[in-house]
């Protein structure tokens, strides 16, 4: 089994508006932030899409202030942010405990918040998953974690939602229905 990425069309918008337009034009797509979860999943052929919309060139998503964190702020940047150590030390501390330094340098707040649910059966190579039948999460008909169930029992394993929720944080989301420029 090859660990090469399947081919996909890469879109690189420079603004939030362009990202929304790219998603509207390519509904069967994934957004790419740090790529530490998405790209390995693509290599394992887990829920791949024909289009990937990279957010890397949208500079306004890199913001880190005492009251606002952009989706592209890396975990390392969160951990090293003086503003966060003052206003939200639990977020800065937690960011420094996630994964390894290499992954923290690429992994982002947005990617951590939108981390794909996972379980032992889903996070395996394509041929292994095919050999036991695909699960509910990947076009199958059974949950291998809880057999005879009709819902997926994969779990959410992101680290930052809990401290952000405990602090009463909120998220600003952009809708595909966006008709005027945000902000």
Instruction: Say what the pLDDT of residue 1 is.
Output: 53
Q: What's the token pair of residue 110?
A: 């947005």
> How far apart (Å, rounded) are the C-alpha atoms in residues 36 and 183?
29
Domains of the chain: which residue ranges?
9-164
Lowest mean per-residue pLDDT among 7-16, 50-59, 101-110, 150-159: 150-159
Question: What is the three-class DSSP state of 11?
Answer: strand
The confidence band for 182, taking pLDDT boundaries of 50, 70 and 90, is low
Mean pLDDT, range 78-98, rounded to an integer: 97
Give the mean model confidence (pLDDT) for residues 46-56. 94
- Using CA atoms, how far apart are residues 50 and 54, in angstroms rounded to an integer? 13
pLDDT at 178 over 70: no
Radius of gyration of the chain (CA): 18
**Residue 31 DSSP symbol:** E
Angle at alpha carbon of residue 103, lines to 46 and 10, rounded to 5°: 50
pLDDT score recorded for residue 127 = 83
């Amino acid at each position: 089994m090859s660990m090469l990425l399947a081919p996909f069309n890469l879109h690189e918008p420079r603004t939030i508006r362009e990202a929304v337009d790219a998603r509207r034009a390519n509904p069967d797509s994934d957004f790419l932030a740090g790529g530490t979860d998405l790209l390995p999943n693509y290599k394992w052929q887990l829920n791949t899409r024909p289009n990937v919309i990279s957010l890397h060139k949208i500079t306004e998503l890199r913001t880190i202030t005492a009251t606002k964190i952009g989706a592209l702020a890396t975990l390392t940047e969160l951990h090293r942010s003086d503003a966060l150590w003052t206003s939200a030390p639990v977020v800065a501390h937690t960011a420094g405990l996630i994964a390894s330094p290499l992954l923290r340098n690429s992994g982002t707040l947005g990617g951590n918040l939108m981390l794909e649910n996972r379980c032992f059966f889903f996070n395996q190579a394509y041929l292994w998953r095919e050999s036991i039948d695909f699960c509910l999460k990947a076009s199958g008909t059974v949950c291998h974690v809880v057999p005879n169930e009709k819902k997926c029992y994969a779990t959410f394993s992101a680290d930052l939602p809990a401290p952000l929720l405990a602090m009463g944080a909120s998220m600003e989301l952009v809708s595909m229905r966006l008709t005027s420029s945000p902000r």
